């Protein structure tokens, strides 16, 4: 795991080395073990290294081929490099290291752009071809590793962290208002936007080739949900077990200590179970808990740790959010309001004392239908299949556009079905919004609304529509989550929180082969009878205690609702009603005050909305005003 950056001047101007060094070293936390730099006239690459494979200097980057016509920088891991290396050696390529990066060097020599679809891993890659004078930037299939770029006249800059552009004195950046609209909807800036207008992101499962004449982008993979396999339940369980065990085993390659996050849920517990089966020593496991018992899952994590005799560490999280919030706002670089970033950071910090690599259960819900939305989608699918459209459409129109009596739970259930069966993906995912369209309209001033030029948050869903066409409702919901919430929120959360402490996190459930197997599962068995993760839980019965498998899902969440009414309440009142978001004429003071008041008075739960506003306010003070520093204390008035 590392950080990469580069500057290419296609007009032939020499690269300024101080700029390249600034870009590289602002990302030092992502790669504290070595800082590499290569500059040759109009091209320059930078690299910060966290040593995982081949700890010798032979693994340092930027890494060239023998005649230095190809230069590579990699952030991440290529899990199938042991299979690719013999193929390249058979073609005559000679290796001088045991690093996965060198497979990219010789793979590009041999296959060119066709190298990228052959890769299985988590990665952001930059390849500079000196002969062709072209740069290739690529990201992994799900977007586990970030990659930003910026084009300014004949200059192209790229980096793993948006702060690498922000730190350059000769770069002027301006706020991208549509990105803020998406942030308030999704809790994070989407992959289709960056918080600054001048910056873009390489999309997951894409690569782009740049030269002096322009750029060309290729999508090299899309998870398929067609071509379902007709297998029995027993056959499915054998297939899943084999695929998951192989995915875990692939992610155990490491020349440094390795462990696992153990939340006490099915996904992370299965990862620990398979790690224990394929290693000959106890697994190091790490769990986090809270004083508020409703949010703590430590007792379930202990059951799994005891069963597999892991070397188990527990962290009890106190509400000391104020002390670390500025440093997290700095680390994320863009506004990011998923509050589970905080426990993710703390468990990463604890794990880093013992290991450099940790496996996680991320991706299990997306692959096997684990969210509430998957269960709702299954019921909506039945509603869609058996209620004629001529009846359904006017009923949906009424339910979606009229307030319903609070006590009529049957009408509310029917409305839920109507929402999840809607032909409009934005409506189907409306229940997962922080600020819905009407709430954002009340929040925005006329000036801010005018700056949006449309409905950016909605457009994110519209861009996904072609991939959803022809799929059943369950698969549509799962794929839409994979295309939006997974790369925009969950993967960003884990990547940044863990890399803040130089910990590499690997996700077996996001293995390519396992994902393709998941896409081939019929929804009737994946979410059988509306039961979330039906097949995965059946598999878990072979390996885990039943009380771990069949219990209410809590997720990796903070007791933030209570903290915002107690410990954090003064901070809200201090920063938000008269803060930058109001002073800039973006948001209405009266609406912000109403949200705070209703939350404090227990009239409504505005946890996610208030947290999103607080983070955005702090982000503005740090990155626009430059008055807030990562080390500042927020407890002082």
Active-site residues: which are they? 2
CA dihedral (6, 164, 177, 451) positive or negative: negative
Query: Torsions phi, psi of 139, nearest 5?
Result: -125, 155
- Three-point CA angle 321, 322, 324, nearest 5°: 70
Task: For residue 596, give the 3-state DSSP assignment.
Answer: helix
CA distance 10 to 233: 57
Is residue 545 within 8 A of residue 265, CB to CB? The reply is no
Residues in Cβ contact with 468 at an 8 Å cutoff, skipping those fewer than 6 apart: 425, 476, 479, 480
Q: In 369-455, which residue ranges form alpha helices assigned H by DSSP? A: 372-386, 389-401, 409-420, 425-428, 437-443, 446-452
Six-digit token string for 495? 């990547």
Q: How many CB atoms lie within 10 A of CB 563?
A: 18
Query: Torsions phi, psi of 489, nearest 5?
Result: -125, -70
**DSSP conformational letter for 220:** -
Question: Cα dist. 298→262, 290, 601 in Å?
Answer: 9, 9, 31
Q: 82-109 as b/e, with b when 16 or more CB fall inside 10 Å?
A: eebbeebeeeebeeebbbbbbbbbbbbb
Nearest to 521 by CA among 120, 240, 203: 240
DSSP letter for each residue of 223-277: ----S-----HHHHHHHHHHHHHHHHHHTT--SS-EEEE--SSHHHHHHHHHHHH
Query: Torsions phi, psi of 66, nearest 5?
Result: -65, -40
Q: How many CB atoms lie within 10 A of CB 117?
A: 15
CA distance 596 to 445: 18
C-alpha 144, offset from chain centre: 6
**DSSP conformational letter for 430:** G
Six-digit token string for 82? 């042991």
């Amino acid at each position: 795991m590392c950080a990469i950056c580069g500057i290419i001047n296609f007009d032939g101007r020499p690269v300024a080395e101080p700029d390249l060094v600034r870009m590289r070293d602002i990302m030092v936390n992502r790669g504290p073990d070595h800082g590499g730099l290569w500059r040759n006239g109009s091209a320059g690459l930078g690299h910060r290294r966290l040593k995982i494979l081949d700890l010798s200097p032979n693994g340092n980057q930027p890494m060239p081929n023998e005649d230095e016509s190809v230069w590579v920088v990699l952030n991440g891991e290529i899990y199938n490099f042991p299979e690719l290396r013999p193929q390249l050696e058979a073609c005559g390529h000679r290796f001088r290291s045991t690093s996965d990066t060198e497979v990219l060097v010789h793979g590009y020599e041999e296959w060119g752009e066709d190298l990228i679809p052959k890769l299985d891993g988590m990665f952001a890659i930059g390849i500079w071809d000196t002969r062709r004078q072209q740069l290739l930037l690529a990201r992994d299939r799900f977007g586990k590793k970030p990659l930003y770029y910026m084009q300014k006249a004949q200059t192209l800059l790229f980096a793993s962290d948006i702060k690498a552009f922000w730190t350059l004195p000769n770069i002027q950046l301006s706020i991208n208002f549509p990105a803020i609209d998406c942030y308030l909807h999704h809790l994070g800036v989407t992959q289709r936007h960056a918080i600054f207008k001048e910056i873009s992101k390489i999309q997951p499962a894409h690569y782009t080739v740049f030269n002096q004449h322009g750029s060309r982008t290729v999508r090299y993979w899309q998870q398929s949900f067609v071509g379902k396999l007709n297998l029995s339940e027993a056959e499915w369980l054998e297939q899943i077990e084999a695929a998951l065990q192989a995915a875990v085993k692939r992610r155990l390659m490491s020349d440094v200590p390795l462990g696992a996050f153990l939340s006490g849920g099915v996904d992370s517990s299965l990862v620990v179970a398979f790690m224990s089966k394929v290693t000959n020593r106890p697994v190091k496991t790490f769990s986090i808990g809270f004083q508020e018992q409703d949010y703590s899952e430590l007792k379930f994590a202990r059951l799994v740790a005891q069963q597999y005799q892991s070397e188990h560490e527990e962290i009890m999280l106190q509400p000391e959010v104020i002390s670390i919030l500025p440093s997290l706002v700095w680390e994320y670089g863009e506004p990011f309001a998923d509050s589970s970033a905080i426990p993710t950071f703390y468990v990463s910090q604890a794990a880093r004392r013992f290991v450099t690599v940790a496996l996680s259960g991320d991706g299990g819900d997306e692959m096997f239908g684990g969210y509430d939305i998957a269960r709702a989608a299954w019921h909506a699918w039945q509603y869609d299949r058996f209620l004629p459209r001529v009846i359904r459409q006017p009923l949906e129109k009424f339910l979606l556009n009229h307030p319903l009596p609070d006590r009529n739970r049957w009408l509310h259930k029917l409305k839920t079905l109507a929402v999840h069966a809607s032909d409009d993906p934005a409506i189907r995912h409306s229940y997962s919004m922080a600020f819905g369209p009407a709430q954002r309209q009340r929040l925005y001033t006329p000036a801010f609304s005018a700056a949006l030029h449309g409905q950016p948050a909605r457009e994110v869903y519209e861009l996904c529509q072609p991939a959803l066409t022809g799929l059943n409702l369950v698969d549509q919901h799962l794929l839409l989550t994979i295309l939006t919430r997974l790369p925009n929120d969950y993967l960003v959360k884990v990547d940044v929180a863990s890399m803040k402490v130089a910990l590499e996190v690997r996700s077996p459930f996001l293995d390519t082969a396992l994902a393709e197997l998941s896409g081939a599962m019929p929804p009737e068995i994946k979410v059988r009878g509306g039961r979330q993760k039906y097949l995965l839980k059946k598999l878990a019965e072979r390996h885990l205690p039943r009380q771990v498998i069949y219990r209410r899902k809590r997720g990796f969440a903070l007791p933030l609702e209570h903290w915002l009414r107690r410990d954090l309440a003064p901070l809200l009142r201090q920063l938000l009603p008269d803060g930058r978001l109001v002073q800039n004429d973006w948001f209405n003071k009266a609406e912000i005050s109403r949200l705070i008041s209703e939350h404090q008075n227990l009239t409504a739960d505005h946890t996610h909305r208030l947290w999103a506003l607080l983070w955005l306010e702090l982000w503005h003070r740090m990155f626009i005003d430059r008055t807030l520093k990562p080390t500042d204390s927020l407890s002082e008035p």
